[in-house]
């Protein structure tokens, strides 16, 4: 597609069930809003249910709210049970929620907060909902990564939880690299089934609450330059929406803004770092993630 892809290209979504994590604000809210406007039945899976309800009230269409705290495996299991009970089929799972540059903290299960929320939480949720997606032709799992997957990013198997030392940026980079590696390995495992695909996206630099933990030395200049360096959430959501709905998308693709440096612009296929394509690391990360979360994917097997 040579024209600029905008929300007007989202196909009709009537009859589709969509789960969007972190959908009460920012990119997740805009993603949910646009999908509901096209007719999808959208579930806002959020940590703060009251905020979720207020967000739902601002969306026109079929919208429900589901409690989901990605920092707690108990909450993830409970949410997955609720979603499975309410929805015999799921057409689209959008793993959007995330935290960025947080001070050193751990989840309820002892995981470093950024790795636990951004990667392990979504890994577990996907595994627990997969049997609702896999029988549905045309179903998709879209995971939101970041250009931060290139910044000081590696999978530190010797210290995944940053117990020896902690860097906000490097921990964020690890979590966003993990999002991509999960997507690529998931797509390889899904491919033989021919029904569900896994795709990744990133929003560029969007003006959302995600940057609230950015160190002041960085946050203040970015605030001043925001009109030049960032784009509105409704633009930042477009790569996710294209990955989720464009009929030309194929499994394993990665979508981001098409402008200079992928900072802003209309969505197009983009490339991720060479490290993100290391299959041995992808498979090791998958195994470790299963061990840490206790969630396995018995319906899909590793492809060697």
List active site positions.
172
Angle between helix 279-293 and helix 122-133 axes, rounded to 10 deg: 90
Q: Which residues pair with 85 in a beta bridge?
A: none
- CA dist 49 and 185 (Å) reads 32
- 275-299: b (≥16 Cβ within 10 Å) or e: ebebeebbbebbeebeebbebebee
Residue count of the chain: 304
- CA dist 142 and 56 (Å) reads 21
Contact present, 283 and 302 (Cβ < 8 Å): yes
Number of H helices, E strands in the chain: 10, 8
- Locate 284 and state its tokens: 């090791």
Helix (H, G, I), strand (E, B) or coil at 104: coil
């Amino acid at each position: 597609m040579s024209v600029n892809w905008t929300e007007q290209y989202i196909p009709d979504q009537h009859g589709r069930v969509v789960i969007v994590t972190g959908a009460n604000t920012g990119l997740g809210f805009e993603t949910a809003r646009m999908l509901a406007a096209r007719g999808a039945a959208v579930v806002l899976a959020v940590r703060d249910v009251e905020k979720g309800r207020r967000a739902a009230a601002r969306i026109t269409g079929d919208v429900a709210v589901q409690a989901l705290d990605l920092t707690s495996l108990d909450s993830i299991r409970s949410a997955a049970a609720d979603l499975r009970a309410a929805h015999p089929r799921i057409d689209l799972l959008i793993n959007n929620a995330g935290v960025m540059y947080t001070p050193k903290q751990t989840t309820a299960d002892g995981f470093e907060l950024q790795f636990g929320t951004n990667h392990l939480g979504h890994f577990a949720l996907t595994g627990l909902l997969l049997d609702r997606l896999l029988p549905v032709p045309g179903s998709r799992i879209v995971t939101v990564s970041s250009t931060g997957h290139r910044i000081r990013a590696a999978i530190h198997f010797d210290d995944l939880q940053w117990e020896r030392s902690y860097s906000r940026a490097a921990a964020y980079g690890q979590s966003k690299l993990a999002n991509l590696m999960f997507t690529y390995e998931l797509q390889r495992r899904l491919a033989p089934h021919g029904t569900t695909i896994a795709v990744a996206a990133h929003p560029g630099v969007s003006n959302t609450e995600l940057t609230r933990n950015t160190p002041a030395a960085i946050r203040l200049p970015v605030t001043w330059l925001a009109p030049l360096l960032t784009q509105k959430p409704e633009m930042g959501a477009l790569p996710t929406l294209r990955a989720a709905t464009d009929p030309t998308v194929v499994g394993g693709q990665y979508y981001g803004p098409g402008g200079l440096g992928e900072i802003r612009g209309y969505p197009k296929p983009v490339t991720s770092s060479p490290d993100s394509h290391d299959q041995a690391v992808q498979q090791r990360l998958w195994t470790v993630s299963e061990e840490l979360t206790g969630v396995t994917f018995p319906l899909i097997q590793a492809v060697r």
